[in-house]
Amino acid sequence: PVLVVDFGAQYAQLIARRVREANVYSEVVPHTWTTEQILERDPAAVILSGGPSSVYADGAPTVDPSLFDAGVPVLGICYGFQAMAQALGGTVAQTGQREYGGTHVEVPESGVLLTGSPTEQSVWMSHGDAVHEAPDGFHVLATSAGSPVAAFEDRDRRLFGMQWHPEVKHSPLGQHALENFLYRGAGLRPDWTPGNVVAEQVDRIRAQVGDGRVICALSGGVDSAVAAALVQRAVGDQLTCVFVDHGLLRQGEPEQVERDFVAATGVVLKVVDAREQFLGALAGVTDPEEKRKIIGREFIRVFEQAAREVVAESGAHGEEVRFLVQGTLYPDVVESGGGEGAANIKSHHNVGGLPDDLQFELVEPLRTLFKDEVRAVGLELGLPDAIVWRQPFPGPGLGIRIIGEVTGERLDLLRAADAIAREELTRAGLDRTVWQCPVVLLADVRSVGVQGDGRTYGHPVVLRPVTSEDAMTADWARVPYEVLARLSTRITNEVPEVNRVVLDVTSKPPGTIEWE
Ligand code: XMP
């Protein structure tokens, strides 16, 4: 892999993504790794990311100079560039002149790194210190008002660096520079493609699983679907998928799993109808956290029972179910490795907490992938668009979109309103601009309305369309008024119990995306 050493800025993951967009596989590693640890991974190249520190700050992370003698191509970016310059004997100075945002650089010599670049360009910078003198053996490629050395390279040792951020879209030629580093500087080939990811994961799954049996909980979401499809491609009927219908799904979703997913993959599917069980467990409960805990607990119970049945049924073939598929994604892996003790805002629900007497070894074929890469793999595996481009939907489902007690009647009502919202947003071509649009039923609120000749006394639903990159932050989506108008008219006409449609115009923070 190409290893991106994370110096603590939010840019490391972005750099890793950009490298992958250049069809080269990359991973993020912490800056606390020693040179030996880095070299043990046999990296094809190393990129040192930006970071919030000044190289002069107490306890500022440093680079072990031995990294540069290892014969591995290295690119330093921003802080990584300065740390590199310092480690190799160049001078870094506090100029007092901050460069932030769009900055003009001159490129007197393009070298390898800036091949194909114009002699002047606009780039995105964010730094206080600057490299004043390049280390011995380096050519200065670029300069700016605040950075006497804004980019350098030592072609023979395959060491490169730039003060600006090539990974952000505000550096229009940034991706080009990254690709110069990868293809020309490090001599890598762009062969990391969805097709190759599938082939590689299939091999790995086969190696891990052997002739063991595997079980997977399908939620209808893209992650579990793609993970299951990969495992099915690898080991076929050794996999049994379990789909728990907890009754908190949206209109058409059970069919999407039971019909479309099975048709596309040929997977063996066990459907468990647990609607009554979930409704029973949720009766009388209004507290959001309690709902989440109940749904999580019931899910594990049902899944556990299903797993036992699959084990019992498979007994005839003499193989045990030893493996459980999980759709863990790369950002989860990086974040839990970072372990910065993020506050528990909401207890998220997935199949993590299985009981001890059901011990499974995990199969996690998406562990190295970002969401958009999961989608590309899904398409490669022939999954339908409706599954691959599905917007995020929470594990506890509509259970946390009914404010108040969850009942069968309220679920039907919300399902109807939600289906209209989704249909209209799709018709307006907004599916990929809107990250997701929860429709929330304020079940305990009633307001007076008038419809036809009569007074109504119905419930409001809230539309919560948001835009987001990763659900960590979000903004309310500026859905065109005409679309909102159509939505409102249709919902109030077609769902008689709803006489008011309101729009949530809160960003995250302070609001979360879901209401509970
Ligand atoms: P919040 O409401 O925390 O949601 O801003 C962020 C994203 O996570 C989804 N979400 C969940 N997903 N299990 C999930 O799998 C959950 O318990 C859960 N709760 C929220 C939410 O839809 C949004 O995309």
Contact at 8 Å (CB) between 45 and 16?
no
Residue-wise pLDDT for 370-411, tens only, equals 888 999 999 999 999 989 999 999 999 999 999 999 999 999
Atom of ligand 1 nearest to the CA of 296: 17
DSSP 3-state helix, strand, coil percentages of the chain (rounded to 5)? 35, 25, 40
What is the arithmetic mean of pLDDT over 133-143? 97
Question: Residue 320 — pLDDT band, cuts 50, 70, 90?
Answer: confident
Which residue has a Cα nearest atom 24 of ligand 1?
392
Residue 442 DSSP symbol: E
pLDDT of 342 strictly over 70? no
Cβ neighbours of residue 114 closer than 8 Å, sequence gap 6 or more: 107, 141, 142, 151, 177, 180
Q: Is position 104 annotated as part of the catalytic site?
A: no
Question: Residue 484 — pLDDT band, cuts 50, 70, 90?
Answer: very high
The CA R_g of the chain, rounded to the nearest whole Å, is: 27
Substitution candidate for ligand 1 out of 293, 514, 515, 516 with most atoms within 8 A of CB = 514
Looking at the chain, the domain(s) classified CATH 3.40.50.620 span: 194-388
Atom of ligand 1 nearest to the CA of 345: 3
> Residues lining ligand 1, CB < 6 A?
346, 348-350, 392, 394-396, 436, 471, 508, 512-514
Which residues sit opposite 129 in a β-bridge? 94
> Could you tell me if the ipTM is greater than 0.90?
yes
Residue-wise pLDDT for 242-260, tens only, equals 999 999 999 999 999 999 9
- 432, amino acid identity: R
What is the arithmetic mean of pLDDT over 429-437? 95
Atom of ligand 1 nearest to the CA of 346: 3
Q: What is the 3-state secondary structure (H, E, C) of 32-100?
A: CCCHHHHHHCCCCEEEECCCCCCCCCCCCCCCCHHHHHCCCCEEEECHHHHHHHHHCCCEEEEEEEEEE
Instruction: Give me ligand 1 centre to Cα 348, in Å.
Output: 7
Interatomic CA distance for residues 41 and 1, integer angstroms: 8
Question: Residue 304 — pLDDT band, cuts 50, 70, 90?
Answer: confident
Backbone CA torsion sign across 129, 132, 137, 141? positive
Which residue has a Cα nearest atom 4 of ligand 1?
513
pLDDT of 346 strictly over 50? no
Contact at 8 Å (CB) between 211 and 238?
yes
Catalytic annotation, pick one of 31, 99, 127, 165: 165
- Predicted confidence at residue 344, as pLDDT, reads 40
Looking at the chain, the domain(s) classified CATH 3.30.300.10 span: 401-503
Looking at the chain, the domain(s) classified CATH 3.40.50.880 span: 2-185
Class in CATH terms, 401-503: alpha beta
Q: Is position 241 annotated as part of the catalytic site?
A: no
Residue-wise pLDDT for 347-370, tens only, equals 444 444 455 555 788 999 999 898
Query: Token pair of 256, please?
Result: 């999407």
What is the arithmetic mean of pLDDT over 271-279? 97
Residue 139, SS3 per DSSP: strand
Which stretch of 27-41, 84-98, 351-365 has the lowest confidence by average pLDDT?
351-365
- Asked if CATH classification 3.40.50.880 holds for the domain at 2-185, the reply, yes or no, is yes
Instruction: Give me ligand 1 centre to Cα 396, in Å.
Output: 9
Substitution candidate for ligand 1 out of 248, 292, 348 with most atoms within 8 A of CB = 348
pLDDT of 167 strictly over 80? yes
Interatomic CA distance for residues 392 and 390, integer angstroms: 7
Q: Is position 78 annotated as part of the catalytic site?
A: yes
Interatomic CA distance for residues 145 and 125, integer angstroms: 12
Residue 260: Cβ-neighbour burial (10 angstroms; 0-12, 13-18, 19+):
middle
Catalytic annotation, pick one of 153, 167, 298, 373: 167
Scored b (16 or more CB within 10 A) or e, 60-94 reads bbebeeebbeeebbbbbbbbbbbbbbbbbebebee
Q: Per the annotation, where are the binding residues for ATP?
A: 219-225
**One CATH from 3.40.50.620, 3.40.109.40, 3.40.50.300, 3.40.920.10 for 194-388:** 3.40.50.620
Give backbone dihedrals phi and psi of 45, rounded to 5 degrees, phi first.
-165, 165
Contact at 8 Å (CB) between 133 and 92?
no
